[in-house]
């Protein structure tokens, strides 16, 4: 030991060296976290326990051959990225693990950001493994306390800075519940119901931002055909969690519906009351096994990308989106309109799950909000682009609403989960833990309501 050696803290009889501790802290704490620490003032990446992965990787690598350090640290980096994605997209840990089976259905290479992040993380993992092997002899001399303290300091900083973005499960709420859209009331009203679940539509913090969408629907109330109400609801989980919330009345996910039994959900109750229950989605039926559990919750007919793309001539030939590239929501709206008008004597419940605003997104070809100009409707480019895409969808829904051949139809538009944005400046445009909803309630008397008096306590509001 030289004069620079720290005081001897005997742990398991092994003296610790200040130089060895600094090298190990640099390898296991500084290298894997430096990029995130530098980006923290500008971007949100919740990594509450990720810094500990690398300490555990180093512990394991010490007892393995030198070559094994490389896959061990790459695995730690993979777990780090998985945790960041899990929190960003509101995936419970069980859902996140099962979601790995669907990675082949998405095009990660379509996102330059994702590719860059993966390369950076893998590069850092390889650098850590090389440094660890180079300083392997320092491990017995380093202070475990110093390494643990450094890693826990990063954990504490991440928790303090990103705590507002890490949500606990809230008390149950839903747009369906708030608007008392029970099966009995829907059936008694005689109205169709079009339910539009919008990918990534959070709750705007600024009423002026929100008005960019609500004013599109407000125009449909001018002739007296509809009344518009709106509000916010809490959410928990990802997109399939939103389906459990709105359609089945509880917090959950697609994993809850994989059994062979039938589930007591709104589409099931409506089908038992004689309504035609249908769903539409512009992505693969295999994603989250929707083709399996949609019938289990009561959808009599489900139409996915494979079904619509196979039509000749195809009504929806275009592709939209980025990593999740599927059919275009604005074109599927036309298919939904046709389904609502088919067999006009049959009351319908139609569920339209959108896709194209999934992060990362592909901007709309029509920049109605001037997002690329010097005077955008919303000052943050990401939020402006997304709102522009949502406005395209809202205009398509408005076209459905004003269709003169449409049977009286109540239209409920709801966000699935908070917008999973990486930029802090963009995040500030949305209220944490909430999503927006909009209800166009038909003022016309429904067919069933006109011919049959509603059951006691079950009339339309």
pLDDT confidence of residue 8 = 42
Q: pLDDT averaged over the chain? A: 88
Separation between Cα atoms, residue 246 and residue 353, nearest integer Å: 12
Separation between Cα atoms, residue 214 and residue 230, nearest integer Å: 8
Q: Are 309 and 299 in contact (CB under 8 A)?
A: no
Q: How confident is the model at residue 106 (pLDDT cuts 50, 70, 90)?
A: confident
pLDDT confidence of residue 427 = 93
Cα–Cα distances in angstroms (integers) from residue 195 to residues 159, 350, 365, in the given order? 37, 6, 26
Closest CA to 108 of 325, 282, 418, 319: 325
Q: Where are the domains of the chain?
A: 18-165, 175-451
pLDDT confidence of residue 313 = 62
pLDDT confidence of residue 310 = 74
Percent share of the chain, pLDDT over 90: 71
> 301-332 as b/e, with b when 16 or more CB fall inside 10 Å?
ebbbbebbbeeeeeebeeebbbbbbbbbbbbb
The model's pTM: 0.87
Q: How confident is the model at residue 314 (pLDDT cuts 50, 70, 90)?
A: low
Q: Are 277 and 303 in contact (CB under 8 A)?
A: no
Percent share of the chain, pLDDT over 70: 88
Q: Are 423 and 444 in contact (CB under 8 A)?
A: no
Q: How confident is the model at residue 347 (pLDDT cuts 50, 70, 90)?
A: very high
Of residues 413 and 108, the one with the higher pLDDT is 413
Architecture of 175-451 per CATH? 3-Layer(aba) Sandwich (3.40)
Least confident of 84-88, 280-284, 349-353, 438-442: 84-88
Least confident of 98-112, 224-238, 405-419: 98-112
Of residues 283 and 311, the one with the higher pLDDT is 283
Average pLDDT rounded to a whole number, residues 47-52:
90
pLDDT digits 0-9 by tens, 209-256: 999 999 999 999 998 999 999 999 999 989 999 999 999 999 999 989
Separation between Cα atoms, residue 101 and residue 340, nearest integer Å: 34
């Amino acid at each position: 030991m030289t004069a620079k050696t720290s005081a001897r803290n005997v742990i398991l009889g092994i003296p610790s060296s200040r130089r060895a501790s600094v090298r190990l802290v640099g390898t296991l704490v500084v290298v894997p976290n430096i990029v995130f620490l530098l980006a923290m003032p500008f971007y949100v990446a919740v990594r509450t326990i990720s810094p500990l992965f690398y300490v555990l990787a180093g512990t394991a690598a010490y007892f393995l051959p030198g070559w094994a350090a490389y896959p061990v640290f790459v695995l730690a980096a993979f777990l780090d990225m998985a945790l960041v994605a899990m929190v960003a997209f509101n995936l419970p840990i069980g859902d996140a693990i099962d979601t790995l089976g669907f990675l082949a259905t998405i095009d990660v290479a379509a996102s330059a950001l994702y590719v860059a992040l993966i390369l950076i993380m893998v590069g850092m993992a390889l650098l850590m493994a090389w440094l660890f092997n180079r300083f392997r002899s320092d491990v017995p001399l380093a202070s475990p306390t110093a390494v643990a303290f450094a890693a826990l300091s990063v954990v504490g900083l991440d928790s303090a800075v990103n705590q507002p973005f890490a949500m606990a499960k809230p008390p149950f709420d839903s747009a369906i519940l708030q608007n008392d859209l029970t099966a009995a009331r829907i059936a008694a009203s005689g109205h169709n119901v079009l339910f539009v679940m919008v990918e990534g539509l959070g709750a705007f913090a600024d009423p002026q931002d929100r008005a960019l969408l609500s004013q599109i629907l407000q125009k449909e109330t001018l002739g007296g055909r509809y009344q518009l109400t709106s509000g916010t609801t809490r959410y928990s989980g990802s997109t399939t969690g939103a389906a459990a919330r709105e359609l089945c009345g509880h917090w959950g996910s697609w994993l809850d519906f994989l059994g062979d039994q039938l589930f007591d959900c709104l589409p099931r109750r409506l089908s038992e009351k004689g309504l035609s229950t249908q769903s539409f989605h512009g992505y693969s039926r295999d994603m989250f096994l929707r083709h399996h559990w949609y019938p289990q919750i009561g959808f009599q007919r489900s139409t996915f990308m494979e079904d619509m793309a196979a039509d000749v001539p195809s009504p929806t030939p275009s592709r939209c989106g980025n990593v999740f590239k599927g059919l275009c929501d604005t074109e599927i709206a036309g298919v939904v309109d046709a389904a609502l008008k088919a067999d006009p004597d049959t009351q319908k419940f139609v569920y339209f799950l959108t896709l194209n605003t999934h992060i990362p997104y592909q901007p709309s070809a029509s920049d109605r909000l001037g997002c690329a100009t010097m005077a955008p409707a919303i000052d943050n480019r990401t939020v402006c682009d997304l709102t522009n895409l949502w406005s395209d969808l809202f205009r398509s829904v408005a076209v459905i609403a004003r269709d003169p051949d449409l049977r009286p139809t109540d239209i409920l538009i709801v966000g699935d989960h908070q917008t999973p944005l990486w930029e802090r400046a963009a995040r500030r445009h949305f209220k944490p833990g909430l999503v927006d909803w909009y209800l166009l309630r038909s003022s016309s008397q429904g067919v069933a309501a006109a011919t049959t008096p509603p059951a006691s306590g079950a009339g339309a509001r």
